[in-house]
Structure 1
Amino acid sequence: MIDRDPAPSSIHDFATWAPVLRLVRDGGAEGQAATSVRVAGRIGRQSWSLPSRRRLPQPGRAAQVKGGQDEFEAVERVRTGLADAGVDDISFTARISPDGTTSLRLLAPSPAVETGIGTTHPGTLILVEGAVPQPWRCLPDPAPDAVPAPSADLGLLERTLRERLPDAVGATETEIAATEARLGVTLPEELKVLYRVTRFRWEDWGDDEAAERECTAVGWEAFRLDDLYIADASSRHCQWQFAAMEAVVTLPGAAVQGLVGSPGWIVFGDNGGGDRLAVDLTPGPRGHRGQIIMLSHEESVGASLVADSLTDLVMNRHSERVGGSGADRPPAVAYVNVRGIPSVEAAAHPGLEVLSIGVWDAAPVSLAPVTGLPRLRTLSAYPGTLADPLQIAGLTQLEFLELGPEEWRVLLDAGAVPRSLSAAAITVHGDQDHLPVTAIANELLALWDRPQIIKTVLEGDLGPLPQRLSP
Structure 2
Amino acid sequence: MPSIHDFATWEPVLRLLSPGSASGPATADGRVAGRIDRHGWSLPLRRPRPRPGQAAQVEDMQAEFDAVRRVQRALAGSGADTVSFSAEFLPDGRAVVHLLGSSPAVEPGVGSAHPGSLVLVEDAVPAPWRRLPDPVPGALPAPTADPELLERTLRERLPDAIGATEAEIAQAEARLGVALPEELKALYRVTRAKWEDWADDHGAPARHAEAVGCELFALDELYISDVASRPCPWRFAATEAAVTPPDAAVQRLAGSPGWIVFGDNGGGDRIAVDLTPGPRGRLGQVVMIGHEDNLGAELLAHSVTDMILEREAEEPHDGRAGEGRADEPSPVAHVNIRSLPSVAAAAHPALEVLCVGVWEGEPVSLAPVVGLPRLRTLTAYPGTLADPLEIARLTGLEYLELGPGEWRVLLDADAVPRGLSAVGIVVHGNPDPLPIVELANEILALWDRPLISRTVLEGRLGPVA
Query: 1:178 maps to what in 2?
Result: 171
In 1, Cα distance between the equivalents of 2:54 and 2:289? 47
Query: 1:45 maps to what in 2?
Result: 38
| Residues 271, 61 of structure 1: alpha-carbon distance in 2 compared, 3 angstrom cutoff | closer
Asked whether the equivalents of residues 366 and 387 of structure 1 are also in contact (C-alpha less than 8 Å), the reply is yes
Query: 2:353 maps to what in 1?
Result: 354
Query: 1:5 maps to what in 2?
Result: none
| Residues 172, 436 of structure 1: alpha-carbon distance in 2 compared, 3 angstrom cutoff | same
Deviates further, 208-217 or 133-142? 208-217
Query: 2:182 maps to what in 1?
Result: 189
What amino acid is the match of 1:374? P
| Residues 321, 439 of structure 1: alpha-carbon distance in 2 compared, 3 angstrom cutoff | same
1:122 matched to 2:91? The reply is no
Aligned match for 1:273, one of 267, 274, 278: 267
1:452 matched to 2:447? The reply is no
SS at match of 2:84: strand
Unaligned runs of 5+ in 2: none
Aligned match for 2:252, one of 258, 266, 279: 258
In 2, Cα distance between the equivalents of 1:241 and 1:20? 30
Residues 347-368 of structure 1: per-residue CA shift (max 9 Å, x gap): 1111111111111111111111
Query: 1:205 maps to what in 2?
Result: 198
Residues 63-98 of structure 1: per-residue CA shift (max 9 Å, x gap): 775441111111111111112222111111111112
Residue identity (%): 65
- 1:295-314 mapped onto 2 (5 Å cutoff): 295-314=289-308
- 1:350-429 mapped onto 2 (5 Å cutoff): 350-429=349-428
TM-score, length-scaled by structure 1: 0.93
How big is the shift at 1:29? 6.2
| Residues 221, 58 of structure 1: alpha-carbon distance in 2 compared, 3 angstrom cutoff | closer
Residues 262-311 of structure 1: per-residue CA shift (max 9 Å, x gap): 00000111122221111110111111111111111110100111111111
Asked whether the equivalents of residues 94 and 105 of structure 1 are also in contact (C-alpha less than 8 Å), the reply is yes
| Residues 174, 62 of structure 1: alpha-carbon distance in 2 compared, 3 angstrom cutoff | closer
Query: 1:145 maps to what in 2?
Result: 138
RMSD: 2.2
In 2, Cα distance between the equivalents of 1:464 and 1:161? 73
Aligned match for 1:285, one of 254, 271, 279: 279
1:239 matched to 2:233? The reply is yes
Unaligned runs of 5+ in 1: 1-7, 467-471
Query: 1:27 maps to what in 2?
Result: 22
In 1, Cα distance between the equivalents of 2:430 and 2:263? 44
SS at match of 2:35: strand
Deviates further, 45-54 or 196-205? 45-54
In 1, Cα distance between the equivalents of 2:304 and 2:56? 54
What amino acid is the match of 1:268? F
Residues 232-288 of structure 1: per-residue CA shift (max 9 Å, x gap): 111112111111111101111111111111000001111222211111101111111
Asked whether the equivalents of residues 24 and 54 of structure 1 are also in contact (C-alpha less than 8 Å), the reply is no
| Residues 58, 281 of structure 1: alpha-carbon distance in 2 compared, 3 angstrom cutoff | closer
Query: 2:105 maps to what in 1?
Result: 112
Aligned match for 2:64, one of 54, 63, 71: 71
What amino acid is the match of 2:240? E
SS at match of 1:267: strand
In 1, Cα distance between the equivalents of 2:46 and 2:93? 17
How big is the shift at 1:210? 2.2
How big is the shift at 1:209? 1.3
SS at match of 2:160: coil
How big is the shift at 1:28? 5.9
SS at match of 2:4: helix
TM-score, length-scaled by structure 2: 0.94
Asked whether the equivalents of residues 11 and 461 of structure 2 are also in contact (C-alpha less than 8 Å), the reply is yes
SS at match of 2:136: coil
How big is the shift at 1:313? 0.8
Asked whether the equivalents of residues 36 and 97 of structure 1 are also in contact (C-alpha less than 8 Å), the reply is no
In 2, Cα distance between the equivalents of 1:232 and 1:64? 44
Residues 123-154 of structure 1: per-residue CA shift (max 9 Å, x gap): 11111110011111100011222111111112
| Residues 186, 101 of structure 1: alpha-carbon distance in 2 compared, 3 angstrom cutoff | same
What count of residue pairs does the alignment treat as equivalent?
A: 457
